[in-house]
Amino acid sequence: MTKTRVEDLDWNNLGFEYHDLPYSWTEEFKDGQWQGGHLTTESTLTLNEAAEVLHYGQEVFEGLKAYRTKDGQVNLFRPDQNAKRMVNSAKRMMMEPYPEEKFLEAVKAVVKANQEFVPPYGSGGTLYLRPFMVGTQPVVGVVPSNTYTFRVYATPVGAYVKGLNPVPFTVSKYDRAAYAGTGQAKTAGNYAGSLLPEMEAKKAGFADCLFLDPREHKYVDEFSGANFFGVTKDGQFVTPKSESILPSVTKRSLLQVAAELGLNPVEKQLEVDHLDDLAEAGAMGTAAVISPVGSLTYKGKKQVFYSETETGPVTTKLYNYLTGVQNGDVEDKFGWVVPV
């Protein structure tokens, strides 16, 4: 694959796609210790045919972004939270956790090394960072790997869902993760399992599907790549409390923003049959940012939230606050922004 050159990129029309940038970060774990991380120009991995990850899916990953501010500086948003979550995901998948301080060093080094690829302020683009780790030991029996590769690649991206436009969703008949399964871990298998439900939703004319709790199919869980939120008719920010969803950094941040905006936020079980109490609904995540749910179809019945074409006022307020902090335009009261 040829390396992407800056001059090949159209900043205002970036997709959510992979570009092969000059530098990644890599580190091996073997003989019971991390061997030292460093930048690399290598963007391929060489694996043994029996490597753990290829057969038993021992993999964890993260997603975070670097943002260009008006004065040209580059910021990360709460990278410490991604570092922590990756440790938790690794523990669930019986992998060697990558130390949090090394994670931060790696992410910063990759941003600095590729800094000309951080899209300009105002373009709507960001530099997406994808730290991940795979079990590399050749194994046949199902046992944890004793060797790992940690890698961080970067790619400039536009919006996952373009603009702040409401899109239609449907409730999936499939589960994303099992009850007491791996739903809280950011691990490859959860995403492989969501491909068929997503494809079926798209074929039926929806942007994506929403998963219910796997035990009772009664409560809202989340999307395949984002958490769910709603705004009740009396102005409360609500988001599902569930053991089978990914603990989203954006969700945790918006809970604080919502409190700041007087929205009395709460995490609680949300019955899919009682969403008519919601005036607005949305998806939230690093890639998704905030993406309004225009409608939700469940058992053949379509519920429209604020509007199928326009974004509700509270969703807009939350979006402006969050992206404002990330882009350096709104005061960072919470100490979330980390300059690179």
Residues that bind ligand COI (CB under 6 A): 63, 225, 285-287
Cα separation, 28 vs 303, whole angstroms: 49
- Among residues 126, 145, 187, 250, which is the contact residue for ligand PLP, using CB under 6 A? 250
Most distant pair of Cα atoms in the chain: their distance: 58
Half-sphere exposure of 272 (CA within 13 A, CB side): 23
- Among residues 53, 111, 113, 226, which is the contact residue for ligand PLP, using CB under 6 A? 226
Classify 98 as helix, strand or coil: coil
Instruction: Give which of 303, 239, 236 is closest to 269, Cα–Cα.
Output: 239
Q: Are 247 and 208 in contact (CB under 8 A)?
A: no
Binding of residue 290 to ligand PLP (CB under 6 A): no
Q: Which residue number, 148 or 228, has a Cβ lying nearer to ligand PLP?
A: 228
Binding of residue 182 to ligand PLP (CB under 6 A): no
Cα separation, 325 vs 194, whole angstroms: 31
Rg (CA), the chain: 20
Q: Which residue number, 29 or 65, has a Cβ lying nearer to ligand PLP?
A: 65
Rounded least distance, CB 22 to ligand COI, Å: 22
Beta strands 237-240 and 266-268 are parallel
Binding of residue 326 to ligand PLP (CB under 6 A): no
Give phi and psi for 156, each to the nearest 5.
-70, 135
Dig out the tokens for 47 from the structure: 């694996």
- Which of ligand COI, ligand PLP, none interacts with 155 (beta carbon under 5 to 8 A by kind)? none
Binding of residue 157 to ligand PLP (CB under 6 A): no
Cα of 19 vs its chain's centroid, Å: 18
Binding of residue 208 to ligand PLP (CB under 6 A): no
Binding of residue 246 to ligand PLP (CB under 6 A): yes
User: 105: phi > 0 → left, psi -120 to 50 → alpha, else beta; which?
Assistant: alpha
- Which of ligand COI, ligand PLP, none interacts with 227 (beta carbon under 5 to 8 A by kind)? ligand PLP
- Which of ligand PLP, ligand COI, none interacts with 113 (beta carbon under 5 to 8 A by kind)? none
In b/e form, how buried is each residue of 171-184, taking b as 16+ CB within 10 angstroms?
bbeebbbeeebbbb
Catalytic residues: 186
Q: Which residue number, 279 or 287, has a Cβ lying nearer to ligand PLP?
A: 287
- Which of ligand PLP, ligand COI, none interacts with 19 (beta carbon under 5 to 8 A by kind)? none
Single out the segment in contact with ligand PLP by CB under 6 A; choices: 22-30, 43-51, 154-162, 248-256: 248-256
Rounded least distance, CB 257 to ligand PLP, Å: 13
Dig out the tokens for 92 from the structure: 């669930």
Instruction: Give which of 55, 81, 53 is closest to 151, Cα–Cα.
Output: 53
Q: Which residue number, 55 or 252, has a Cβ lying nearer to ligand COI?
A: 252
By CB under 6 A, the count of residues binding ligand PLP is: 13
- Which residues lie near ligand PLP (CB under 6 A)? 63, 222, 224-227, 246, 248-251, 285-286
